[in-house]
Structure 1
Amino acid sequence: MAEPYPIVDRKTLDRPDRGGPLGLRRRERGKDEIPKVNGQQVRVFSVDGGYLVDHGHRRLDDEKVVRATHVTIVDLTHNRAVQTELTIPSQDAKDFTVRVTFLCTVTDAVTVVRDGQGDAERSLNGYIRSHHRLFQLGLQHKLSEINPVRLNVQTQIEAYVQLKPPRVPGLNMSLASVEVLTPEELAAFQDKVRTEERNFELYRLKAMYDEEADRQRRDWELERKKYELKLSEQRQHYEAMEQLAQQRLQQSHNEFLINEVARKHQAIGDDPVKAAMAAREEKELTATQIADRLQAGKNHAEERADRQQEREFLIEQEERTRRYAMQDALMERERFERDRDYQATLTKLEREYQAEQTALQREYETTQGRELREREDRLQMLRVRLDMLKEIAHHGHLNEVYVDAEQLIKGIAHETGAVTSPLASTATPPELENSLETAGNDPKADAGSGGGTDAHVEVEVARETWREEDY
Structure 2
Amino acid sequence: MTDTYPLVEQRVYGRPGRRRGLLTSRPTRADDELPLLAPHHVRVFRTGEDYIADPGRLHADDPLVVTASSVTVVNCRVGVPVVVELPVPSADQGSFTARITFDCTVVDAPSVVRDGVTDVHELLLGYLRSVPGLVEDGADQPIGETTGTRDRIDARLTGYQEMTSDVVSGLRIVASGVEVLTPEEFAAHVEEVKRARLAADKARVEAELAAQQARAEHEQRMRAEKQRIEAAREEERHRAELAALEERHRQEFENMRTVYEQAAGSRTQEHELLLQARANGFQRNQAHEDITSVGDDPVATDFLALRSGGLTAAEIAERRRADEERRDTRAEEVAALQREYLAKREAMDRDDARAQLERDDRRHELDREDQRTDATADREERSRRWFQRREDRERRRLENREDARTQRQEHQEWRDRVLKVQHDLTARAISRGHGDDRPVDVGALISNVGETPQPGVQALTQGRDDEVQRVTAERLDRATDDGPYAAAAAVPADPAEPRAAGAPAPDPVTAPDDPESDSDDDSDIGFAGLEERRGD
Superposition TM-score tier, normalisation by shorter sequence = 0.3 to 0.5
What TM-score, normalized by structure 2, do the two folds share? 0.32
- CA radius of gyration, larger in: 1
